[in-house]
Structure formats: C-alpha cells, structure tokens
Amino acid sequence: MAQAFTTTRRIEFADTDMAGLIHFSCFYRLMEEAEHEFLRSMGTSVIDRQDDGTTVSWPRLSAECSFHAPVLFEDELEIRISVRHLGNSSLTLAYEFRRDESLVAQGVMKTVCCQVTGGSELKSMTIPEPLHSRLAELEVAE
C-alpha cells in the first residue's frame, strides 16, 4: 500500500476488553483520529468553518475493518493511510494497522465533502482546490 500519511498510537487500558485485547470498535475510533491528523497535515480539518458562516465537513458514507492478529494493552500501532479513491466530492481512505511491521488490521472509510448550513443541513459539494489536487497526487491506482 502506497502511503499518504503515517502516524502511531499506543493502545490504552480503556481500549481493551476483559481479556486484555483491544475492543474491535476502537479500530474505528483510531481510523477517525488518524483521518483527522491526515486532514490537518493537508491544511484542513474535518470541520472547517468558512468566513461566510458555513462549515465544510466530512460525514461518513461507510466504514469497515477486518482483523488479522490480536492487539494488546500498551502495544504501539503504526497506522498507514492511503488515498484509495478520490471523486469530485467523495474520498475513500484505506488504513493499515501494523505492529512491528506485522499487519494486525485493515480498514476503509468513505466520506463525502459537505457544506453544513442552517446548523444541521448537509449538502454534498466539490472538494475545494487546492485540497483536491493534493489528494489526487496521493491517490493509489488499483
């Protein structure tokens, strides 16, 4: 997987279940945290308030994760993100979770760039330039 962004996270006690294993739902939170960090590295945010009072945001269309090996309390995971697909308004990111180079989980999250108006109304919009161009440079051909 060609990487657009890499970060690390240590598994905390609160992330684990009674057996001391990471709870599966934590992978979704880790994907979201890594996505936020990735977007900040691109000069934007998952919630970007505009000067005209509107907000640009990235609601989820779908998310999935598959698990390949157990992860324990205090394990340090490397989270690798790649741009799997870039549309006019949609962005699909792929995630690899690795511990010491061993693949422990993989995920995919699809989002859509939206304008938030009136407090809660969402309207799909074209991903603004130059962000779209920067993401296009990172897209992985499959």
Q: How confident is the model at residue 1 (pLDDT cuts 50, 70, 90)?
A: low
Q: How confident is the model at residue 10 (pLDDT cuts 50, 70, 90)?
A: very high
Domains of the chain and any CATH numbers: 5-138 (3.10.129.10)
Across 96-108, average pLDDT: 97
Across 80-99, average pLDDT: 98
| pLDDT at residue number 42 | 94
Across 87-107, average pLDDT: 98
CA 132/CA 2 separation, integer angstroms: 18
Strands (E), the chain: 5-10, 47-49, 55-57, 60-67, 76-86, 90-99, 102-112, 114-117, 121-124
Q: What is the pTM of this model?
A: 0.93
The answer, yes or no, to whether residue 25 has pLDDT greater than 80, is: yes
